[in-house]
């Protein structure tokens, strides 16, 4: 579904991605792990079309989308779940959910979102930034599901959440996967990552250092945690 080849990216003079190549098949959940500054978020931004200094190939369903602006990529089925949760202070919860157009074959209805997240329903007319951090994370995920996105780009969706909410995020991603949604996930929580994902890429200094499956991550958990500095 997603193919990245020889992707390099810069912030001004500083190169943050160096010839990254990776693939995500339809229906897969794949994580990017790595230290802070390894280039994980930049990689997601490049896929979404939000980073300007880049070179290389980004293909979606075999189509080169590297030159397309972000809004066109979104309409091809990319769902953006940013690390700051992307809540709009000037939009209500309902407006935050209904802002993106429906793009995929299987979008959630607003009713289904509110059934799954009663907390969002009770706060539906409040400004989204008045929600708790956990609720805002659910809002960010619910938004791309309502959109019907086929490939979710999630930047650390569990960061700063309580264990209960982390589990909820996991349930949600597993349910999305059951419905054929593909996920590319930046994640530091290895336990969470092995619980939801099929495969993992370790990014180090802007390169793909290793590709691992779940069993490999579990068996090397201690070594990896030490490497990640967690």
Interface residues with another protein (CB under 8 A)?
Answer: 48-50, 69-71, 74-75, 78, 80, 82, 84, 86, 88-91, 95, 98-101, 103, 143, 147
The answer to whether the CB of 8 falls within 8 A of the CB of 59 is no
Counts for the chain of helices (H) and strands (E), in that order: 10, 10
The least CB distance from residue 90 to another protein, in Å, is 4
The least CB distance from residue 168 to another protein, in Å, is 23
Decide whether 89 or 164 has the Cβ nearer to another protein.
89
Decide whether 29 or 74 has the Cβ nearer to another protein.
74
Give kind and range of the element (H or E) at residue 224. helix 221-228
Residue with tokens 């590319």: 184
The least CB distance from residue 63 to another protein, in Å, is 17
Decide whether 136 or 194 has the Cβ nearer to another protein.
136
The least CB distance from residue 210 to another protein, in Å, is 29
Beta bridge partners of 20: 7
Beta bridge partners of 153: 80, 184
Distance of CA 48 to the CA centre of its chain: 10
The least CB distance from residue 217 to another protein, in Å, is 29
The answer to whether the CB of 60 falls within 8 A of the CB of 78 is yes
Phi and psi at residue 154, to the nearest 5°: -110, 120
The least CB distance from residue 120 to another protein, in Å, is 17
Decide whether 49 or 170 has the Cβ nearer to another protein.
49
The answer to whether the CB of 1 falls within 8 A of the CB of 25 is yes
The span from the CA of 83 to the CA of 41, in Å, is 8
Decide whether 150 or 199 has the Cβ nearer to another protein.
150
Decide whether 154 or 212 has the Cβ nearer to another protein.
154
Residue with tokens 């099929």: 198
Residue with tokens 């280039």: 39
């Amino acid at each position: 579904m997603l193919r990245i080849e020889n992707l390099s990216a810069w912030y001004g003079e500083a190169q943050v991605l160096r010839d990254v190549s990776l693939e995500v098949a339809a229906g897969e959940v794949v994580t990017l792990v790595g230290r802070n500054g390894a280039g994980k978020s930049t990689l997601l931004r490049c896929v979404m079309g939000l980073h300007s200094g880049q070179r290389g190939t980004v293909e979606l369903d075999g189509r080169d989308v590297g030159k397309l602006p972000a809004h066109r990529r979104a309409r091809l089925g990319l769902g953006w779940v940013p690390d700051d949760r992307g809540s709009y202070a000037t939009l209500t919860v309902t407006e935050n959910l209904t802002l993106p157009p429906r793009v995929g074959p299987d979008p959630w209805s607003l009713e289904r979102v509110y059934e799954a997240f009663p907390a969002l329903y009770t706060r539906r007319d409040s400004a989204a930034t008045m929600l708790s951090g956990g609720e805002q994370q659910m809002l960010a995920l619910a938004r791309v599901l309502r959109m019907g996105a086929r490939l979710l780009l999630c930047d650390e969706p569990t960061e700063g959440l309580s264990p209960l909410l982390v589990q909820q995020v996991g349930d949600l991603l597993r349910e999305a996967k059951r419905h054929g949604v593909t996920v590319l996930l930046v994640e530091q929580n290895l336990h969470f990552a092995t619980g939801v994902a099929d495969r993992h890429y370790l990014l180090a200094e802007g390169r793909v250092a290793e590709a691992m499956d779940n069993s490999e991550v579990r068996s090397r958990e201690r070594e990896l945690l030490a490497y990640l500095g967690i």
